Amino acid sequence: MNSMFGCYVEDNADDIILIRIYGQGTEILINREEELEAFSLLSAAGCAPPLYCTFNNGMAYGFFPGIPLDSESVQDPNIQ
């Protein structure tokens, strides 16, 4: 299981940076090179937050505030 940490200055959680530490053995399920390539492409297209850095056992990236979609809202034609 991955570990996730969020860091921000003072009361400005809008500028949070997420740090994800890969869990032991998770590379069996997830190809980290492909994940990084997909994340980078999505970030460049504005569909994922900015990727700030990667390291041997994790990555640091920005955060998009919002509300998770549920089974009802995902069917709403007004949500893009």
Domains and CATH numbers, the chain: 3-63 (3.30.200)
Per-residue model confidence as pLDDT tens digits over 38-80: 999 999 999 999 999 999 999 999 998 888 889 988 898 888 6
**19 neighbors 8 (Cβ within 8 angstroms):** no
Q: Which 3 state secondary structure label does DSSP give 3?
A: strand
Task: Write the DSSP symbol of residue 45.
Answer: T
Length of the chain: 80
DSSP E strand boundaries for the chain:
3-7, 17-21, 51-55, 58-61
Global pTM value:
0.78
